[in-house]
Amino acid sequence: MISVPALLWAGLPPQLALGTNKLQSSVGTTMAVWQYLRAGLVNGRELRLVAGVTFAFAVAGTWTVTRVDSGMLERLVPWLLLGVAFHALFCPRFGQGENLPKLGPGLFAWLAGGTLGFYDGFFGPGTGAFWTMGWISLRGKDLLGATAATKVVNLTSNLAALCVFLPAGLVRYDLAAAMIGGQLLGARLGAGMALRHGALFIRRIFLGVVLSMVAKLLWEQFAG
C-alpha cells in the first residue's frame, strides 16, 4: 500500500511498478517467514495444499494483469478492507485464541488460495489483511498463527508473480535493490515484535494498517 504508490509516483508504468514491488516484497517476506519457522509457528503440512493452489492462481492472476486494466479492483478494495476492519474492531476477541475451524483444510485451500492467490497476482493491495481474516474466521487460528500462515502464502504468491514479471522484463532491479534494504530490516523487526508482544499487539497494528489503507484509497478515489 505504500511501495506501489511510491513507484507509480516515481513515474513507473503500473505493470512495471507491480513487478518491481513483488521482487522487493519477496525478500522481506522471506525474512519474516524464516522468523516464524524458527519459532515453530508454521504448520507445513497444513500449508502445503493452500500454498500450491495459491501459487497456481497467482500465476494466472499475474498473467491476466499484464493484459487488462485493474481499475475496477482499485475502486472495490477499500470497501472490502473496511469490512475487514469493522469485523476486527467490533469483535473484541478477534484473534485472541484459537477457535473451531468452519472450513476443512481442503475446501479452505481451494476457496482462499484460488481467490486470494489470483487477486494477489492480479492486483494485491490488502491481500495480507484478507488472508489474516480468512485464517482466523474460517480456520480458527489465533492472530499470531494467522499472521505466520499469511506470510507463507504471501511469499508463495509473490514468487508466483515473479515467474511472470521477470521473463516479461517488468522489474526495475535498481529500484528493487534499494527497497530490499528497508524490507530486510523492517521484516526482521516486525516479525520479532509480533513474537514478543503477542496477539493484542498484532490486533492493534492490524487495525491501524487496515484503516490507514482504507483512508488512503478512499481519499484517492473521491479527491480525484
The H or E element that residue 185 is part of is helix 173-222
Contacts of 70 (CB under 8 A, 6+ apart): 14, 122, 123
Where along the chain do its domains lie?
A: 3-222
Which pLDDT does position 182 carry in this prediction?
80
Conformation bin of residue 140: beta by default, left when phi > 0, alpha when psi is -120 to 50? left
Mean pLDDT for the stretch of residues 183-205: 77
For residue 96, name the pLDDT band (cuts at 50, 70, 90): low
Which pLDDT does position 200 carry in this prediction?
75
Return the top range by mean pLDDT from 50-64, 111-125, 132-146: 50-64
Return the top range by mean pLDDT from 19-23, 182-186, 193-197: 19-23
**Angle, CA of 178, 158 and 197, to the nearest 5°:** 80
Instruction: Determine if the pTM surpasses 0.85.
Output: no
94 has a pLDDT exceeding 60:
no
Higher pLDDT, 56 or 201: 56
Mean pLDDT for the stretch of residues 56-84: 79
For residue 193, name the pLDDT band (cuts at 50, 70, 90): confident
Which pLDDT does position 208 carry in this prediction?
82
100 has a pLDDT exceeding 80:
no
Helices vs strands, H then E, count in the chain: 8, 0
- Please, what is the average pLDDT of the chain? 84
Q: How deeply is 67 buried, as exposed, middle or buried, from its count of CB atoms within 10 A (0-12, 13-18, 19+)?
A: exposed
Which pLDDT does position 78 carry in this prediction?
72
132: cell is 489474516
Which pLDDT does position 52 carry in this prediction?
97
Contact in structure between 120 and 60 (CB atoms under 8 Å): no
Q: At what angle do helices 105-122 and 127-139 cross, to 10 degrees?
A: 170
Higher pLDDT, 45 or 9: 45
Give me the amino acid identity at 66.
Answer: T
Give me the amino acid identity at 207.
Answer: L
Contacts of 33 (CB under 8 A, 6+ apart): 42, 148, 151, 152, 155
Q: Three-state SS string across 70-124, please?
A: CHHHHHHHHHHHHHHHHHHHCCCCCCCCCCCCCCCHHHHHHHHHHHHHHHHHHCC
147 has a pLDDT exceeding 80:
yes
Return the top range by mean pLDDT from 2-16, 85-99, 126-140, 179-193: 126-140
Which pLDDT does position 131 carry in this prediction?
94
Which pLDDT does position 113 carry in this prediction?
96
